[in-house]
Amino acid sequence: MAKLRLGEILIAEKKIDQVQLKSALAHQRRWGKKLGDCLVDLGFVSELDLVRTLSRFLRLPLIDVTRIDSTKITKDVLDLIPLPIARKVRAIPLATREIKRKKRLVIATSDPTNFAAFDEIQFKAGLPLLVMIAPDSDIDWFLRKYYMNDGEALPYNYVSGISLIQDKTADEISEEIEMDPISNIFFDDQFTGVSKTKMQKTPSGIDDDE
C-alpha cells in the first residue's frame, strides 16, 4: 500500500476538507511546524481526533505511556533509541518483548507515518518493531521524565483527564485483544499496573503527524 500522508488520512476519514488542508499547509510553511500541530492550532481538528483517527485508519493500538509502571522502563531499553533521535522522530522505546519466538522492540510514536524513522530505529536497535500511537504531549512527558530525569514533569493526561487505556470498556478491550495480541502486551497488570478488568469508558486520545 502506498504511503499516505496525514492530510490524506484526515480527508479520507472526513475529519477535514481540502480547504482546511490548504490553509494548514500554508500555516506550516509560515511557522515551520508539523502539519498536525497546524491543524490543531487552527482549530480544524482536536488532538484527540488526530490520535484516534490515526489509530483507527492505520490499525495501530493507542497506548497511554503515562500509565506504564515506571519500574518497567529500563536504561537498557532507553539506550535502544538515544534521546536526540527519540526527540527528532517523536518515538520512544517502551520494552522488548518476545512475540512468536522473535524478540521485538515496542515503541510509541506520535508520528506513525514516519516509516523512514522506523527503518532507522530498527537498524540501530537490531530488532524488528511493534509500533503503538501515543499523544505528542505524552511523548514530551516521557522524554523529560525518563531521559532527562525531570521529576516534576506531569503527564498531559494528568491535566486533561484523558486516558487512552481507559477509552473503552473492559469487554470491548477484551474483544480487541483477542484479535490484536500486540495490544495485550500493554493492557495487563504486569506492564501497565492497570487491570483491564477495572477499566471504565472515558474520553481518549491526542496526537500529530507530518
Residue 4: pLDDT band with limits 50, 70, 90: low
Q: What is the mean pLDDT of the chain?
A: 77
Is the separation of the CB atoms in 6 and 35 below 8 Å?
Answer: yes
Q: Which three cell numbers stand for residue 116?
A: 523512514
Percent of the chain with pLDDT over 70: 70
150-154, Cβ contacts within 8 angstroms, sequence gap of 24 or more: none
Sign (positive/negative) of CA torsion 184, 185, 186, 188? positive
Average of per-residue pLDDT across 19-27: 95
pLDDT value of position 49? 80
Q: How confident is the model at residue 137 (pLDDT cuts 50, 70, 90)?
A: confident
**pLDDT value of position 26:** 95
Q: Which of 11-20, 59-68, 69-78, 197-206 has the highest mean pLDDT?
A: 11-20
The domain limits of the chain are 1-45, 65-198
The predicted pLDDT at position 1 comes to 34
Instruction: Return the pLDDT at 121.
Output: 96
Predicted confidence (pLDDT) per residue in 77-95, tens digit: 999 999 999 999 999 999 9
Q: How far is CA 188 from CA 20, 65, 199, in A?
A: 40, 13, 11
Is the per-residue pLDDT at 51 higher than 60?
Answer: yes
Tens-place pLDDT, residues 143-197: 999 999 876 666 655 544 444 444 444 455 444 444 444 445 555 555 655 444 4
What is the mean predicted confidence (pLDDT) over 1-22? Answer: 84
Architecture of the structural domain at 65-198: 2-Layer Sandwich (3.30)
Residue at 53: amino acid letter: T
Q: What pLDDT is stored for residue 163 in this prediction?
A: 45
Q: What percent of the chain has pLDDT over 90?
A: 36
